[in-house]
Amino acid sequence: LKKILQKPILRKYFIIFLLNSISSSIPAVLILFFVENVINAKHLVGMFLLLYFFGLLLGVMLWTKLSKILNDKIKTFIISITFTVFIFGWCYFLGEGDIFLYGVICILSGIGFGGDFALSYSILTDLIQKHKLQNNETTIFGITNFIIKISLTLASSALIYFIGALENDPYNKKQFISFSYALLPIIFRSYAALILYKNFKK
């Protein structure tokens, strides 16, 4: 573990991985609350999830192909993150009855998040090979799995606590859910894209 963390480039990539994991965990935790309290379409949660995963499948294929066309995984990853940030932020402006618009955002944001699945581990594998860390590969991927788990744990425990605290204040509860669901993820992803651009663009 010490040998792995001595590599500055890996430490920075783990930070990017953490930020992206948190940004993915927040919508996963809050989608039921968002659809029920903001869109007011609890009965359509299953459909929205299907649309998202359909977009995710398209996104994996799209970003994989684009990275080959550009011959640049880092640039493609930054484009996918930027695309997600632009699309997902529109959720903040949605309200009761915006079923069609939210459905479109589910598909498009799924496409954007597909960049994580298509490129994040592929880039990490390239870093492992470049820095000759193949003997530590199991530990490195163990760290990424830990990051995913801890991100989901932190997001769920913190957000659900605040939602519970606002249970008797419907207006502020709705505002908190909208802000947390739509804007918090793009803040984390924007910071991840910035670190990626500054440290990995070459």
Per-residue model confidence as pLDDT tens digits over 117-166: 889 999 999 988 988 888 888 999 999 999 999 999 999 999 999 999 99
pLDDT > 70? residue 34: yes
- Identify which of 132, 114, 151 has the alpha carbon closest to the alpha carbon of residue 17: 151
- Identify which of 64, 63, 56, 60 has the alpha carbon closest to the alpha carbon of residue 107: 56
pLDDT of residue 23: 93
* pLDDT band at 26; cut points 50, 70, 90: very high
pLDDT of residue 200: 80
Residues 37-55 pLDDT 10s = 999 999 999 999 999 999 9
pLDDT of residue 110: 95
User: DSSP secondary-structure letter at 35?
Assistant: I
CB burial of residue 196 (10 Å; 0-12, 13-18, 19+): buried
Sign (positive/negative) of CA torsion 60, 64, 70, 72?
positive
Amino acid at 54: F
Give the span between the Cα atoms of 173 and 186, in whole angstroms: 20
pLDDT > 70? residue 202: no
Sign (positive/negative) of CA torsion 180, 53, 66, 200?
positive
pLDDT of residue 61: 95
pLDDT > 90? residue 181: yes
pLDDT of residue 135: 87
Residues 66-77 have a mean pLDDT of: 93
The pLDDT > 70 percentage for the chain reads: 99
Backbone angles phi, psi at 131, to 5 degrees: -100, 10
pLDDT of residue 5: 79
Backbone angles phi, psi at 96, to 5 degrees: -60, 130
Token pair for 158: 């913190």
* pLDDT band at 178; cut points 50, 70, 90: very high
Residues 98-103 have a mean pLDDT of: 96
Asked whether the beta carbons of 54 and 110 are under 8 A apart, the reply is yes
pLDDT of residue 150: 94
Mean pLDDT rounded to a whole number for the chain: 92
Token pair for 110: 């799924």
Asked whether the beta carbons of 51 and 69 are under 8 A apart, the reply is no
**Other Cβ atoms within 10 Å of 199 Cβ, number:** 15
